[in-house]
Structure 1
Amino acid sequence: MSEQNNPYGAPTTGHLWDDNLAELTNQPPKWWMIGLHASWILVLLYGIVYPMWPWFGGATQGLMGWTAIGEYKADVAAIQQVRSQYEDKLPGMSAAAILADSELSEYVVRSAKVLFGDNCAACHGGGGQGNPGYPNLVDDDWLYGGDIDTIVTTITNGRMGMMPAKAGVAMTEAEIDQLAAAVAKGEPTSTPLFMEKACFACHGMDGKGMHALGAPNLTDAIWRFGDGSVEAIKYTITHGVNDPSDPQTRNAVMPKFGGGKLSETDIKKLAVYVAKLGAN
């Protein structure tokens, strides 16, 4: 190395260490110097074109007048212009009419995904698959009916069904065991207790439920509470649902989103979104 690159022929600062260690003053390569000067020139040009330099009362505005917030507002305006061709139609349409329009319903499904995430996913899951104690919205099994107008009513006004607790005076523990076993098999009418204890008044003569009362179908093996085990069913029969007389009752309340919480248009969007989640 020393033979190929003789340091003694290069200029030094004049300082020597240990007799032969010198600090050389060689210039950097030309490409490096070109890059250095190009860099500060570009910074200077950038500061002229864009806001950058601190000044009295604020930074310089730059020749282009560009700002980050200005670009953001322009992007939002562009998005709103694209959406307006759909959004302007929605206030004057019913949810059923929106659902019937394939192009418009496709737009609504996409735009309502955020609404669903903000207002519904905490209980019904991100994909509408439900959570323990909260209905599944993708299986087309409905407590109050799954037509679009009923879904609008449910979202607008909320729901709060009621099943009285049967423990004590209404039914003995042995009767609860017998009825729970029949319901667990999907055969609620197989025991005389179904009629004797007036279960048919809410769940129908065939045990398949009644939308008008929000009473579930007891024959389809789809369960709102628990996994359909005899123990889970016994608990529901024993303590009821939303029964104020029993502190251990199951709680099942769907809050209302009408009355100013959500606009009518947002409610229609959510109704279409939910309707499209299921088989209908």
Structure 2
Amino acid sequence: MSATSAVTPVTRTTPAHVAPRPPAKRSSRTGRPRSASSYLLGALAIVAALVWAFPVYWMVSSSLLPSARLRATTPTFFPTDSSLRNYERVIEGSSFLSALRMSLMITSVTVVAVIVFAFLAALAISRFRFRGRKSFIIAVLFIQMLPAEGMFIAQYKMLSEFNLLNSVIGVSILYTAAVVPFTVWMLRGFVAGVPAELEEAGMVDGLSRTKAFLRITFPLLAPGLVASGVYAFLQAWNEFTVALIALPAEQAKTLPLWLRSFMNASANQGIDWGQVMAASTLIAVPVIIFFLFVQGRMTGGLVSGAVKG
């Protein structure tokens, strides 16, 4: 045998009679089996959802029925002979377009003003320490506790003195003043939840304070701004009592005031509930469109805030 013998690598071969093992099958259940209480809670949730959705279904289905069917003693749960006659009568024979234009202008101005003022106030009380900060917070709490009915006379006199009755600006000022206090507290939680160290890290990397805020902090606050905008939109769109005081003219009506005109029926004719339901459905349509729009914006704000900066 030679001193320098060749070293052959040792390789392991699988015997021909041994079959490869099949991959292990994973169980379709990813957790513990559901108990009876889980099924019960699920059934209760479904029942609660049906109870919540039934008034909406009843409003829409009633708007598609003639008045004779609505006054019948037997309720109609499924509108088999439905028509759009009630919607045509509502749009053609009333000031729907004028009221819709008025509501859209007032709501748009209110939402923009509320977001701007509430965001600046929430940013100030969350990030800065200044003289009078505690007094400002107490004032915001105190304003929220004031009943709206106690300020109707003062609000009417104020708008009348400045010639702002029956105007978009006048009603928008009252709506903004009513919605801003709660929105400040809503946004304050979002601002306080974003660490100030993120901005400081951006400033260390060479950004100015303004650019660090716009590129890092502001995207993280986008969901809070959208939530505040949704709250302001609902408050301004559905408000009735303040509009009744600040818009006494017949030609200056928001949609809630316009809907009230359908309830002023004569004793002989009675209330046309088909038109009432059709008008209520038309008022709800812009709210649904707004929610469909901001839902994607809210999700996009969460995702962009998580990756930017």
- Bucket of the pairwise TM-score, normalised by the shorter protein: under 0.3
More helix by share: 2
TM-score by length of 1: 0.19
TM-score by length of 2: 0.18
Max radius of gyration: which structure?
1
Q: Which has the higher contact order (CA 8 A, sep 6+)?
A: 2
